[in-house]
Amino acid sequence: NFVVELWTYLAIDIVVIWVRLYARYHTNGWKGLAWDDYLMAIAMFIYAGETAEAHYVVYYWLGLANNAMTDEERKALDPSSREAYLRIRGSQTQLVGWLTYLVLLWVLKLCWLFFYTRLGEGVHRMALKVKIGFVFVVVTFFMTFLVILLKCQPITKNWQIYPDPGNTCQPAVSKVQAYILISTNLATDLYIMCIPLPMVWSARIPPLTKVALVGMFCGGFLTAIFGILRCVFVLLDRPNGPQLTGEWSCRESFVAVFISNLPVLYPIAHQMLKRMKDTAYSHSRSRSRNVLGGGKSDPNGSTTNQDGSQGYKMNTIKASRKKKDFKHPLSLPGETFYERFGS
């Protein structure tokens, strides 16, 4: 059942990413695509790779790795047996899976930062916060990547069965990599989530809208919860730990990819709904004019009713007071906040 679940997650996120890319292309053309769009396309392929790895861990390697074995069991296991083969392959796939998982999450962090680069043009100090974020993300990525890859040397010990290589060399349940990953992941997520909050919180918008925007930008909290659950299963070191960590990594990745696309899809959906409302309202006014006027209109906007009287289209009557152009409180130079989301 989990195999179906994880491929369903991937299918949903692929649709979300394609909708995002199509909408951005339709609105701005190829030249209008930005770094976060290209990185999101790359993230789609990375996520597909992670899904395939989790599939192998659960379906082909049966959730086995070089952990959860006594010394007697390790010594008695025939190196040429099927169980030994499954445990070796499972451990190798776990190591690759951790690295793929890391790369995916940090690519999504870069997507957020590049998005904030576009969003924050002209906003006080936001550019500086984003630049600090880039440095923070790059440094933590290389630090975490090297810890996962080099924590156990020689690297072949990551799939060694006998003698016991120790917890550090058991990639499915290694506490060292779990601690370093959860620390750097939470730290970078918290920093990235805090970047737009001052702008949103100080904006003159309805409280419900403000809460919705804060919730959207702070979606990383939900991703962090899934990441914590994943690391908890690692630290518990249960016999089915490799399978559980694989399952929760895919769930976290699904949520992370989905949430990372919300800021771009939200304004697009908002504009589509607005156009639908405007179209419906226009049709409603047109039908009302036909019922009230009941006659033909001349080029000047007047209508001749069946009784010979003259009427005028409602849209030809202008108010004496000049209507001011409305701008959203989160407006940025040259465009509104919603347009900036999708630009």
CA angle, 181 as apex, 175 and 182 as ends, to 5°?
90
Longest dimension (CA), the chain: 105
Instruction: For residues 196 and 338, give the distance between their C-alpha atoms in angstroms, rounded to a whole number.
Output: 14
Q: For residue range 97-139, list pLDDT tens digits in order.
A: 999 999 999 999 999 999 999 887 767 678 899 999 999 999 9
Contact in structure between 103 and 46 (CB atoms under 8 Å): yes
- Higher per-residue confidence, 343 vs 87: 87
Instruction: For residues 343 and 340, give the distance between their C-alpha atoms in angstroms, rounded to a whole number.
Output: 5
pLDDT for 248: 84
Instruction: For residues 216 and 211, give the distance between their C-alpha atoms in angstroms, rounded to a whole number.
Output: 9
pTM: 0.79
Domain boundaries, the chain: 2-260
Instruction: For residues 148 and 228, give the distance between their C-alpha atoms in angstroms, rounded to a whole number.
Output: 17
Q: For residue range 268-326, list pLDDT tens digits in order.
A: 777 777 778 778 777 777 666 655 554 444 544 444 444 443 333 333 333 333 334 43
C-alpha 264 chain-centroid distance: 10
The tokens 């690692």 sit on which residue? 234
pLDDT for 19: 93
Q: Which residues pair with 112 in a beta bridge?
A: none
- Higher per-residue confidence, 246 vs 255: 255
CA angle, 154 as apex, 148 and 155 as ends, to 5°?
45
Contact in structure between 259 and 215 (CB atoms under 8 Å): no
Q: For residue range 132-168, list pLDDT tens digits in order.
A: 999 999 999 999 999 999 999 999 999 999 999 999 9
Task: Indicate the average pLDDT of the chain.
Answer: 82
pLDDT for 122: 65
Question: What are 336's two structure tokens?
Answer: 């509104």
Instruction: For residues 95 and 171, give the distance between their C-alpha atoms in angstroms, rounded to a whole number.
Output: 5
pLDDT for 343: 41
Residue 331 has pLDDT above 90, yes or no: no
**3-class secondary structure, 178:** helix
Contact in structure between 34 and 113 (CB atoms under 8 Å): no
Instruction: For residues 12 and 19, give the distance between their C-alpha atoms in angstroms, rounded to a whole number.
Output: 11
